[in-house]
Structure 1
Amino acid sequence: MTGPHRALTRLPFRVRLAAAFSGLFLLSGAALLAFVVLLARYGTAQQVEGIEAQRLDGPDERPWTGASPAPPAYGGFGRTGEVGPGPRHGDDGLALRKVDTTVRAVQEAALDQMLLWSGIGLVVMALLAGLTGWWLAGRALRPVAAVTDTARRISDLNLDERLALTGPDDELHRLADTFDTMLDRLQRAFDSQRRFVTNASHELRTPLAAQRTSIEVGLADPLPGHLTEVRDDLLSTNRDAEHLIAALLLLARSDRGVEEPEPVELAGITEAVAAGLASEAEEHDVALRTLVRGPLRLPGDPVLLRHLVTNLLRNALQYNRPEGRVEVTLDGRTLTVANTGRPVDPDRVGDLFEPFRRLGQDRVGATGHGLGLSIVRSIATAHGAAVRARPGPDGGLTVTVTFT
């Protein structure tokens, strides 16, 4: 039962509704046909019992009914259909049996023909009912299809679009109004987020820049040894705060999507980023290898795509081991970054793409905030790409970004 039921639940709602129309009509028609056949069989049986046969020749002429115990004489039929002389007295029982057999055969033939043609008519009408149900379901679900198409088309760039469904105040009209109300709330939320990102880029970066300048100027050399260490700690903390704010702003920007896509050469970006991180790889004693097979031009935001490649490579360098390796491959529309390191639990791979999630502190690079892969996933989603990650055979992680 589980298999057919699961197969039925996977069918579109319109198909299931049309099949329900056909099935309901078929069941009700079959019940009605069975009722008619039973009544017809009972009625014809009663009529056969009431049939009278009369003896048309001889002086002892009297009526006989099928229920009479004595077999009467009756008229016969000639080849031309005229009433002929009745049978002899000794042939009465045989003649009556022939009449009874003939009547029953005619009755069965009539019922069989009625059942056959009624069944054919029932199947044809069930198909017509299914087609009618398909058409009615399409008309009834047309507002739902409009809601679905609008939901697929609307993004944060055109949240001002509304269904504005017209017609009677029924369940579908209230559903469309609820959807429009939800879009109003989403538009206000996205507008508030855009204002926050715009203001935060200035309100947060400016004080940190002023703080860094004050530290560098106020604690300039020459300083006592203990103050030099304090200055370095303050500058490191300030630098980490700036990096965190920049990463959060980048994550918020990528979540908004690509507003004005332009042709981007991903192969050139990949090679440039790998070349820029070569010195950092040497510093951490990690071998960085790059393999680019042919150019790849795709529509997108060049700044965001550069951050995508940079975060992938920097994450592969930081979460690595001494004398490890990072392999970058761009083959067709697939970008793959694999590294070595500690074994990663397959059940926890999905957590790496959540903000501020890190699996251990065994990194050879600088400290981070657990936003690298979150930014990668957000930028990939903004460009319609799919991101997958799996543990490497020698430890570490293999991250694949496939562009459509």
Structure 2
Amino acid sequence: MKLRALLSRLPFRARLAAAISGLFLLAGIALLAFVVLLARYGTAQQVQGMSITYGDVPSSAATPFEPARPSQPDLKPPAPSDVAMIQKIDQTVQAVQDTALRQMVLWSAVGLLITALLTGLLGWWLAGRALRPVAFMTEAARRISDQNLHQRLALVGPDDELHRLADTFDTMLDRLEKSFESQRRFVANASHELKTPLAAQRTTLQVGLADPLPESLADVREDLLTTNREAEQLIDALLLLARSDRGLEETESVDLTVTARLVTAELTPQASAHGVHIDLSADTPLVVRGDPVLLRHLLTNLIHNAVQYNHPGGHVRVRLEALTVTVTNTGPHVPAERIPDLFEPFRRLDADRTATTGHGLGLSIAASIVDAHNGTLTAQPGADGGLALTLRFP
């Protein structure tokens, strides 16, 4: 299991090269064992088939190329010295046979290991060649974003599995490009088609119900204007959420310390009206790359949310340090299991709020803006109630 876990952590190219080398090594071991067994068996058969004859051999009866034959029909039994000589010859032959087999196994094993190593290196090179189209597709996919969805892999070569994979990816990019274009058109049209009637409605209310008015109609006018203003804020929030979800088109250096001071100054009157104190701590400039408009909305939503979900006499602390922004507030206790819901659109806590306005989009917009800037936004319950939001930039 440990070996399998270790192999699973290796890159695919290394696993492929190791598999090629391992298969070659197993095949070589099987071939070597087969050769050794046959060599030993064949040598034993040859030794058993050998026969030795004894007798007087005249010098003229045999040639160097002819076997010795007895000169007389009666054979004499071998002498004891001959038997000892034959045993020595057998032992010598056996020793030579064993030594030859050991040397053959030894040097064959050394050659097999060296060849397996060379095969592994060759397998690594072949795997790299085979996976080169995959590496090309990976690099191309990394370069493609919502701003250049018109680009395609356009892999050339034979109609094989890799070519079909690239064609499938290009088809998916076609669908994504159409979807993003549709979203951009919707946001652009919604910005005009939804906000223009509300602006006209507000103007009509202000002109048609201008002072002097009876006291009952004055209250109705304020209610209608409040409803109209909330509808405009909701549309602005939805358009901002859609814009941040599309990602960043252009970035520039933004000093979040300066932005935080401006946002705090804007929200201080609202916080003071509800008895909430805002404390900003920023010793050094905090400069990040991003969209200044979205980053301003990000800090506005975080601080406004901390003011809105608070209680009279509470406080909001904003701290900026090295690539980190922390916003903590007092307020109602937030269960830990409810925190993920707060980052969903139109989700909010219902009790103990200092303001009755809002649509539950503040944290979801903040999370979307943070994702567009490749940052992280985390939240945890405060020790004395409320939330502790931590924003980190890469």
Unaligned residue ranges in structure 1 (runs of 5+): 64-70, 74-88
User: How far, CA to CA, are the matches of 1:345 and 1:398 in structure 2?
Assistant: 13
| 2:378 matched residue in structure 1 | 388
Separation in structure 2 between the aligned mates of residue 354 and residue 362 of structure 1, nearest angstrom = 20
Shift of 1:300: 1.7
- Structure 1 residues 210 and 93: CA distance shift in structure 2, 3 A: same
AA aligned opposite 2:31: L
Aligned residue number for residue 51 of structure 1 = 50
Name the residue aligned to 2:174.
Answer: 184
Superposed counterparts of 1:286-325, under 5 Å: 286-325=276-315
Paired position in structure 1 for 2:19: 20
CA distance in 2, matches of 1:6, 1:288: 52
Report how far residue 249 of structure 1 moved: 0.5
Aligned equivalent of 1:104, options 76, 87, 94: 94
Q: Do the aligned residues in 2 keep the contact of 1:267 with 1:292 (CA within 8 Å)?
A: yes
User: Whole-Å Cα distance in 2 between the matches of residues 93 and 293 of structure 1?
Assistant: 106
Matches of 1:345 and 1:287, distance apart in 2:
24
Provide the C-alpha distance between the structure 2 equivalents of 1:116 and 1:345, rounded to a whole number of angstroms.
71
Shift in Å at residue 387 of structure 1?
A: 2.2
Equivalent in the alignment of 2:359: 369
Amino acid at match of 1:293: D
| CA–CA separation in structure 2 for the residues paired with 1:37 and 1:345 | 74
Question: How far is 1:403 from its partner?
Answer: 1.5
Q: Which stretch of the first structure deviates more once superposed, 256-265 or 45-54?
A: 45-54
CA RMSD of aligned residues (A): 2.4
Among 93, 117, 127, the alignment partner of 1:127 is: 117
Alignment of structure 1 residues 235-246 onto 2, 5 Å: 235-246=225-236
Q: Kindly state the Cα deviation for residue 237 of structure 1 after the two structures are TM-superposed.
A: 1.7
Q: How far is the alpha carbon of 1:57 from its aligned partner? A: 6.5
Give the secondary structure class of the aligned counterpart of 1:322.
coil
- What CA distance in whole angstroms lies between the structure 2 residues aligned with 1:37 and 1:340? 83
Shift of 1:205: 0.6
The verdict on how the C-alpha distance between 1:4 and 1:324 changes in structure 2, with shifts beyond 3 A counting, is farther
Q: TM-score, normalised by structure 1?
A: 0.86
SS at match of 2:346: coil
Instruction: Report the counterpart of residue 4 of structure 1 in structure 2.
Output: 3
Indicate the SS of the match to 2:253.
Answer: strand
Deviations along 1:148-197, one digit per CA (max 9) or x if unpaired, are 11111111111111111111111111111121121122112111111111
CA distance 1:386–1:57, change in 2 (3 Å): farther
Contact 2:311 2:353 in 1 (8 A): yes
Matches within 5 A, 1:4-403: 4-55=3-54, 73=78, 89-403=79-393
Q: Deviations over 1:18-46 (max 9, x none)?
A: 11111111111111111112112212222
User: Residues of 2 paired with 1:33 and 1:393: CA distance?
Assistant: 72
**Cα drift, residue 94 of structure 1:** 4.0
Offset of 1:207 from its aligned partner? Answer: 0.7
Distance in 2 separating the partners of 1:386 and 1:163: 31
- Deviation, 1:226, is 3.9
* 2:253 and 2:287 in contact (8 A); partners too: yes
Aligned length: 380
TM-score by length of 2: 0.89
More displaced stretch, 379-388 vs 269-278:
379-388
One-letter code of the match for 1:209?
Answer: A
Output the CA distance in 2 between the equivalents of 1:178 and 1:44. Answer: 62
Is the CA contact (8 Å cut-off) linking 1:293 and 1:332 kept in structure 2? no
Q: Which moved more, 1:138-147 or 1:227-236?
A: 227-236
CA distances 1:193-236 after superposition (whole Å, capped 9, x unpaired): 11111111111111111112222333334444443333332222
8 Å Cα contact 2:248/2:372 also seen in 1:
yes
Deviation string, structure 1 residues 252-287 (Cα, Å, up to 9, x no partner): 111222212122111110121122212222222223
Q: Which amino acid aligns with 2:142?
A: R
1:265–1:54 CA distance, 2 compared to 1 (3 A) = same
Alignment deviations for residues 52-105 of structure 1 (CA, whole Å, 9 cap, x no partner): 34447699x999xxxxxxx974xxxxxxxxxxxxxxx33455444433332222
Gaps of 5+ in 2: 59-66, 70-75
Q: Partners of 1:210 and 1:313 in 2: how far apart?
A: 31
CA distance in 1, matches of 2:338, 2:124: 46
CA pair 50-302 structure 1, distance change in 2 beyond 3 A:
same
Q: Which amino acid in the other structure matches residue 256 of structure 1?
A: R
Q: More deviation in 33-42 or 335-344?
A: 335-344
Contact 1:390 1:397 (C-alpha < 8 Å) held by counterparts: yes
Question: Once structures 1 and 2 are overlaid, which stretch shifts more, 24-33 or 357-366?
Answer: 357-366
- Identity across matched positions, percent: 63
Contact 2:57 2:68 in 1 (8 A): no
1:102 to 1:347, Cα distance in 2 relative to 1, 3 A = farther
